[in-house]
């Protein structure tokens, strides 16, 4: 690019530093991103910023994507370019923003981490040693039995659980949506054991189903901390967090029933596309079984 184009770019970086007072690391990122854009312009024999149009920007992003740049990095580069072009419009160097309306390729959604059935059994088939562990087992059983979010678990009140009817009422789930969910036999058994321990040890008017030593409702953070403590005590490897039990519930239900709509209702998803992520998990499992079992699934090793 010509000398004037380089000077204008430096003026923009000076504005970011002096007027907007951006951090050194952010300035480095802007400098790096705009240097890449300038290098692309040189490849295209563009000597001025005014010669750059939306087609150039699209091809630039496509080229960066082909070179292995991830979605987040591409979004950052586009953001830097838009900010720079807005500055060029402000100083009347260009009439419009050639990066406006251009989006980076979407990143593939990471698949949720799940436990297999054996791992769930290893987590839950443990004899509690005190009343707090009785409570903890009841919480883990309910999370896995009914696919609750950890915030929903923390908000459950005594009156919400109908153990004789084998159901639990989630009064205000995500988006303030309520739903009625079944409770499995193991979870009912664990909750009843906790209710006995709760009545003996906690004298309080607190309406929460799950309470701490002081008789107050457990927080989400407390539940997360107790599950991590439980994982370490059982000697389980890897990360473990409450939402993993919800993911495991969904994956195991879908694998057994193949009923996507039912799993959507149980999870309280407003959009079925959110639930469909578990079909990918199910396919991964089937593909693994296929690779191990089918006589012609594996390629012969070349000698």
Active site includes 174?
Answer: yes
Active site includes 76?
Answer: no
What burial class does residue 98 get, using C-beta atoms within 10 Å of its C-beta: 0-12 exposed, 13-18 middle, 19+ buried?
Answer: buried
Inter-residue contact 252 to 146 (CB < 8 Å): no
C-alpha angle 247-252-257 in degrees, rounded to nearest 5: 130
Active-site position among 198, 246, 247, 252: 246
Active site includes 72?
Answer: no
Active-site position among 20, 32, 103, 174: 174
Active-site position among 64, 135, 149, 252: 149
Active site includes 149?
Answer: yes
* Helices and strands per DSSP (H, E), number in the chain: 13, 3
Inter-residue contact 73 to 112 (CB < 8 Å): no
Q: Which of 32, 81, 31, 33 is nearest to 57 (CA)?
A: 81
Q: How far is the C-alpha of 55 from the C-alpha of 33, rounded, in Å?
A: 18
Active-site position among 30, 40, 87, 278: 278
Active site includes 87?
Answer: no
Residue 202: CB partners within 8 Å, gap ≥ 6? 211, 215
Active-site position among 58, 65, 113, 269: 269
| H or E, element range at 7 | helix 3-18
Inter-residue contact 139 to 223 (CB < 8 Å): yes
| H or E, element range at 168 | strand 167-170
Active site includes 203?
Answer: no
- Catalytic residue numbers? 149, 174, 243, 246, 269, 278
């Amino acid at each position: 690019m010509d000398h004037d184009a380089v000077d204008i770019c430096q003026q923009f970086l000076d504005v970011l530093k002096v007027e907007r007072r951006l951090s050194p690391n952010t300035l480095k990122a802007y400098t790096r991103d705009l240097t890449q854009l300038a290098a692309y312009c040189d490849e295209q024999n563009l000597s001025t910023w005014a010669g750059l149009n939306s087609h150039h920007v699209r091809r630039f992003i496509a080229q960066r994507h082909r070179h292995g740049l991830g979605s987040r990095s591409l979004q950052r580069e586009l953001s830097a370019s838009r900010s720079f072009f807005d500055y060029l419009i402000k100083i009347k160097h260009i009439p419009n923003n050639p990066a406006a309306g251009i989006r980076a390729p979407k990143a593939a959604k990471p698949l949720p981490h799940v436990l297999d059935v054996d791992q769930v059994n290893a987590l839950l088939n443990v004899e509690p040693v005190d009343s707090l562990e009785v409570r903890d087992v009841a919480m883990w059983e309910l999370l896995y039995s009914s696919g609750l979010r950890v915030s929903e678990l923390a908000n459950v009140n005594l009156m919400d659980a109908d153990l004789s009817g084998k159901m639990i009422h989630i009064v205000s789930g995500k988006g303030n949506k309520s739903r009625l969910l079944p409770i499995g036999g193991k979870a009912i058994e664990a909750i009843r054991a906790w209710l006995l321990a709760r009545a003996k040890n906690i004298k309080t008017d607190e309406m929460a189903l799950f309470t701490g030593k002081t008789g107050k409702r457990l927080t989400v953070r407390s539940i997360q901390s107790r599950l991590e403590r439980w994982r370490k005590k059982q000697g389980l490897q890897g990360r473990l967090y409450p939402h993993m039990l919800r993911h495991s519930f969904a994956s195991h239900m879908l694998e057994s029933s193949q009923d996507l709509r039912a799993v959507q209702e149980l999870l309280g998803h407003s959009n079925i596309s959110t639930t469909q992520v578990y079909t990918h998990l199910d396919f991964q499992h089937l593909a693994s079984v296929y690779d191990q079992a089918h006589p012609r699934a594996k390629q012969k090793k070349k000698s």
